[in-house]
Chains A and B, each alone.
Chain A
Amino acid sequence: MQKSNDEVHWRRTTNLMLTHLAVWAFFGYIVHMFVKPLNQIIIPVLNFPLGFYMAAQGSLIAFVAILFVFAYQQDKIDREHGVAEDD
């Protein structure tokens, strides 16, 4: 049986959500579990220890990027399935 347009739309939406959730978990938690080894690496020129930098700036930049990318991708999915709002 052919899946309805709505079902496909929701499956793609769910997958997109899970993908971004995984990226979020990586930058929110996983990378900080390795703070001690990462602190051994000093970013050239700026002189930040990498572990500290990730918690202070790196992850934050990643979060902002996730949100803009997600807004763009979700809108694209909505348009392809004809469920986006009129402009």
Chain B
Amino acid sequence: MATQTAAASSDFIRNLGRLYGTYTGGFIAFVVLLALLEQAGVPNRVLGYLFVFFTLLVYAVIGVMTRTAQISEYYVAGRRVPAFYNGMATAADWMSAASFVGMAGTLFLLGYDGLAWVLGWTGGYVLVSLLVGPYLRKFGAYTVPDFMAFRFGGTFARFLAVVVLVCCSFTYVTAQVYGTGIIASRFLGMQFEVAVFVGLSGILLCSMLGGMRAVTWTQIAQYIVLIIAYLTPIIILSTRKYGIPIPELTYGQALQEITAREGQMLQQNLAVLCTATNCPPGSLKHHIEPFFNYSPLNFFGIILCMMVGTASLPHILMRYFTTPSVREARVSVAWSLFFIFLLYFSAPAYAAFSKLEVYTNIIGRNLADIRPWMFTWGEIGLIQVCGKNAASVDAVIAACKAIAGHPGVVRLQDFVINTDVIVLSTPEIAGLPYVISGLVAAGGLAAALSTADGLLLAIANALSHDIYYNMITPLRPAARYTVIGTIVGVAVLAIGVFATGASPVYGLPWNWLLLGGMAVILLGVAPFWAGATSVAKRLIVARVLLLFVAVAAAATASTRPSDILAMVGWAFSLAMAGNFPALVMGIWWKRATTAGAIAGIIAGFGLCIAYLVITRYFPAFGVEYLGMTSLYNPATGRPLIPDLAKAMAAPNAWEMWPPLAHPLANKVGWFDLNNINCGLLGAPLGFLVIIVVSLFTKAPSAEMQALVDEIRKPRGRTVLEEKTT
């Protein structure tokens, strides 16, 4: 029986090329079919539904077909995923809604400064391969906390690593579920909160049953959809404009045209130039000029934090646990970055083409002949002209008439665009049929789903494998029940607090429905519990927790925390401060001790999260007691809060958990350091503490040092296998 399964699965691995080749062909045929349907007069709304539901169905089918009840299949896909395909899966795992929808928009708004994100989200893979990934593969962990526990003396290190993992992954997954909701609501016209839960059920279908194994094979399918969707519109646009179907080469021309047009707009009084003395909102910042949006410190800080964060994010590191060998793990990192690169080096082209379109066909035009593509987005408030939603020509004309002395043509400062629109509107700008817009929506959905899958799996694995299996099961029964009881109590309390504050959807008290649903699941699982083997128990716990975490993420997302990019940035900084020093020192410095690592994680992670929470939520406390000062405007060099004393004296200065619009929130800090970059404070402190404390404590045992040597040599069985046999 066992050999049969092994033979069948090696057959499966051999046929991967043909399987995914057929799948790609099938997907293209499906797009062509929908294009024909469009020609036949099928309405756009129906096409949108077909796209979303068909792709969701495919992912769900793959998820169900690859379901598994084996531990090593569930946690690391049996360690059989070839480098090339693992690279594709990692790329899908990596590229989220923020990359797919948000990246080009950020580049559109920030110009050169936005490239900090492009650099930061690619270069980190070099660190993964050089410093961490292959060694963790040789170690043979199921999760990142596994390694921490082994190297740094057991339960407490494991617990800290789980805390770090849950903090950064949950921050990240909330942003993904939010992105899923945006895409689903925009293309299906659903209410946002409902869309969040529809997207969520798609995510769960993939990852619930098959764990890592199912997630891997769906992520590959999702990568294929997302990369086709991302590149198609821009390749067509480039061919139409410049006659060459390689947008990454032709947008240099577009950049030059943008620069020329920028000069022209200034001459014709269509824009105000942002200078060191005067930089009002909506003023022109040259697209290719650096450091108008981020100061050099924050620009390079973002690059470093995103790169180091990459090498510390558990959901990325665990993808390299699935390769057949250490060698393949290294090659796989290279393929991952290659597949990511395909999207990231195209994003600046999107930004350039969109900017050129806006500068030439909207700015400087008479209000009466603005290009109509923008009204679709204006209607839902994503494009504003003269301070009002640009829903129609009449609305725009009326809004601009209300401004005294308005010249009757659109000026740059009149025009506000939501960054999400850049990618989503490109098919319409290029005058392509609706089927391409649907394709882009399907791609964006694939990007958000695949990342959310990986993150949820990382969280659920840590909770089931690390907390339940490795920390709770070994306890004596009495202690075990106390711990479980406390955890359940806190969870119910937290959900209860949340539930009372949330709004109903379609008149249904959905938060109570959720609570009820969770109770039903728990009761449904209960009868099987007593009779289950320990392996089955572990997988039941993993699946139930997956469900709970997913619902909690959706619930958080449906409260619409603002600014996805900042939230994702926080996740990276937290991972950097909490994981990177301990991981790197654990592998590269045999002298690193348990006490050192634990102190280092607490100090580094603690500083990072404290800086983040204080600057965002308790800014007045930071100013009053911690010597924080206002951040500076990078273009003018003047403080963002002109009169700090006055702002502190204002009645709302000490408001608790204030919204983003609060006059102090996110605007104070030390050394003009944006809180996205809190890892820049935490990680060096973490390294320092690990080194100092390690040198003051007794060196690790000879046995431990020998095991570290084992991790450094690819040959042989994994260290965990050696230890258990």
B337 contacts A55, C-beta separation under 8 Å: no
A67 contacts B333, C-beta separation under 8 Å: yes
- Closest A residue to B351 by beta carbon equals A56
Find residues 18-50 in chain A having any chain B CB closer than 8 Å to their own CB. Answer: 20-21, 24, 27-29, 32-33, 35-36, 39, 43, 46-49
| B123 contacts chain A at the CB level, 8 A cutoff | yes
Report Cα–Cα, A56/B113, bound state, in Å.
11
Quote the shortest CB–CB distance from B347 to chain A (angstroms): 9
A56 contacts B712, C-beta separation under 8 Å: no
Report Cα–Cα, A20/B125, bound state, in Å.
12
Q: Which residues of chain B are near A46, meaning CB under 8 Å?
A: 249, 252-253
| B284 contacts chain A at the CB level, 8 A cutoff | no
Partner of B290, one of A51, A66, A74: A51
The 3 A-B residue pairs with the shortest CB-CB distance in the complex, in nearest-first order = A67-B334, A48-B252, A55-B115
Q: Which residues of chain A are near B325, meaning CB under 8 Å?
A: 85
Report Cα–Cα, A35/B288, bound state, in Å.
10
B327 contacts A84, C-beta separation under 8 Å: yes
A55 contacts B118, C-beta separation under 8 Å: yes
Most buried by B among A29, A82, A86: A29
- Closest A residue to B325 by beta carbon equals A85
| A71 contacts chain B at the CB level, 8 A cutoff | yes
B126 contacts A63, C-beta separation under 8 Å: yes
Chain A contacts to B: CB under 8 angstroms: 6, 9-10, 13, 17, 20-21, 24, 27-29, 32-33, 35-36, 39, 43, 46-49, 51-53, 55-57, 59-61, 63-64, 66-68, 70-71, 74-75, 78, 82-86
A48 contacts B122, C-beta separation under 8 Å: no
- Interface hit among B338-346, B392-400, B676-684: B338-346
- A36/B290 contact (C-beta < 8 A), A53-B252, A55-B118 known: yes
Partner of B112, one of A17, A35, A66, A75: A35
Quote the shortest CB–CB distance from A13 to chain B (angstroms): 7
Q: Which residues of chain B are near A9, meaning CB under 8 Å?
A: 712-713
Partner of B118, one of A10, A56, A61, A85: A56
Q: Which residues of chain B are near A33, meaning CB under 8 Å?
A: 296
Report Cα–Cα, A61/B334, bound state, in Å.
11
| B256 contacts chain A at the CB level, 8 A cutoff | yes
Report Cα–Cα, A49/B715, bound state, in Å.
47
- A48/B337 contact (C-beta < 8 A), A63-B122, A63-B123, A67-B126 known: no
B344 contacts A60, C-beta separation under 8 Å: yes
Find residues 102-118 in chain B having any chain A CB closer than 8 Å to their own CB. Answer: 112, 115, 118
| B48 contacts chain A at the CB level, 8 A cutoff | no
Report Cα–Cα, A24/B345, bound state, in Å.
18
Given pairs A52-B112, A60-B341, 4 additional interface contacts (CB within 8 A)? A29-B304, A48-B255, A60-B122, A83-B713
Q: Which residues of chain A are near B112, meaning CB under 8 Å?
A: 35, 51-52, 55
A85 contacts B249, C-beta separation under 8 Å: no
Report Cα–Cα, A41/B685, bound state, in Å.
40
- A29/B303 contact (C-beta < 8 A), A64-B334, A64-B341, A85-B714 known: yes
